[in-house]
Amino acid sequence: MIQAPGRSRATLLALIVAALITIPAADSLYRVPVQVSDSLEPIIVAQKAGSTLSHLENSITFSPTTFRPSRYLQARWLLQVADTTGLTYNAIFRGVHVALLVLLVLLFLLAVRVRDWTDLAALTVAFPVLIGIHTFVAMLLEAFPVNHYAEIGACALAVFVLAQRPPRWFVPVVVCVLLGCALSVVESGAMVWITAICCAAAGLPGIKRSTVLATTVMFAGYLVLRHALGIVSPGIGGHGSGFGATFYSAEELAQRFGAHPLGFMLYNVAGGLASLLFSEPRNGVYSLLIAWRDREIHPVVLINILSSLATTSLLVWYAVTRVSTKRSAWSHAERAFAAAAAVFLINALLTAVYIKDEIISVGGLFYAVCAFIAVRGLIESLPRRSAAAALVITAFLAADAALWTFRVVGVHYQLRYAAFKTRNDWVEVLREDKQDGWPHDPGELALTRRLRGEALERRTTSPSFMPRRGDRYWVE
């Protein structure tokens, strides 16, 4: 079949638009050194392991509340790659973060499949949503040696891409591999199983009963293994989280809600969903309540809420007008919308114990997918509307895209600021006036010195050279 020239040009331009936004974001992400928090400890643990097998065995007992063997294995493998190639640890570890960013973008493009000019127009709104939503930058700022939440997002999007294609015999195997990899790095890997279930329930052709059965058996086995190893999920007080206008430490949450956790859990689930739909709250804290208390509201709060409110209204319009009919009458786009919407709605349930932007990062990816489908549906309806209505809708979409593009610029600001702060964090490591706190193990000391030296050698931009009022417009 010969592809229409318009289709090929639209696809090419979609790639160009994505590249123009992604490449600068990748550059800003690469400038962030390896973080001290959550990165130094697993890298040291990975180096000390005698072998991969012993390391895997020991990783099972690292924590009574988590089962994340691949977290340390991946750090060990990357250390070996750096030693073999002679590249710096920063180049290897941060390079993987950048590769995951690019992979997420490519999978998103495969998920939405830009084929014509209408699709391209929808992408100009949806792609800034993908990059600009607060859950995406929270995912990019993840401090693990490898960005595990980005890995989960990539696995979930890969399942969604497979679900939209014709069924193949290897799909159950691939999805099970993706699920296994995801569950081995962080508990949010369960979202890969949820994605498969939602795609099958929506009737997408690529996920059949065999895939649902195989992944369900695998997920059940994972839960049984956790139970057999004595690993329990953390309850109230395992992590700090926000409530109302205040962020509480883990100990404070346990004292306040430990005896009666149900109300707090319902608050968290509702807050996780509201965060995806309206960009409020952030980590459980409502900036609007802080603004009410302090009698001052920063522009970033209004920008985030208005952009999310506009896009969420489009999602509601599409769901009411296009997905309200019988399931058997749904088009492919409507099935994809229903599956993606179910994924981000269910993702909010994972915030029951505590809210964290990274936990709902998969939901943020699928929110952008829903935005693409809804915007495309609205654009397709323009010929049936009056000239005045078409003009109003066009202006609405342009304004929404502009707000989200402004949020994309904020991603760079936050990454550049994180690079400066992270580099300064390393100044406090191995201080000459605190040698009594230095590692006694020679290998650990040498590794820490090398990571510290590489971080301090990286050039970062001081906030004094950034926009003076940047925090008011991009940091919530």
Q: What are phi and psi of 246, to 5 degrees?
A: -130, 140
C-alpha 268/C-alpha 40 separation (Å) is 30
Taking 50 as the threshold, does the pLDDT of residue 107 lie above it? yes
Instruction: Give 14-63 pLDDT, tens digit per residue.
Output: 999 999 999 999 999 999 999 998 888 888 888 887 677 776 777 676 77
Average pLDDT over residues 441-469: 88
Report the pLDDT value the prediction gives residue 232, as an integer from 0 to 100.
80
What integer pLDDT is reported at residue 347 of this predicted model? 95
* pLDDT score of 2 more than 70: no
Indicate the number of domains in the chain.
1
What percent of the chain stands above pLDDT 90? 64
Task: Give the orientation angle of helix 89-112 with respect to helix 361-380, to 10 degrees.
Answer: 30
Residue 8: HSE in the Cβ half-sphere, 13 Å Cα cutoff:
4
pTM: 0.93
Average pLDDT, the chain: 90
190 backbone dihedrals φ, ψ, rounded to 5°: -60, -20
Distance CA 58, CA 72 (A): 10
Q: Is the pLDDT of residue 305 over 70?
A: yes
Q: Pick the more confident residue, 232 or 209.
A: 209
Region of poorest pLDDT, from 84-88, 160-164, 221-225, 260-264: 260-264
The answer to whether residue 462 scores a pLDDT higher than 60 is: yes
Domain span holding position 373: 5-474
DSSP per-residue string spanning 96-146 = HHHHHHHHHHHHHHHHH---SHHHHHHHHHHHHHHHHSHHHHHHHT--SSS
pLDDT at 250 > cutoff 70: yes
- DSSP character at residue 237: T
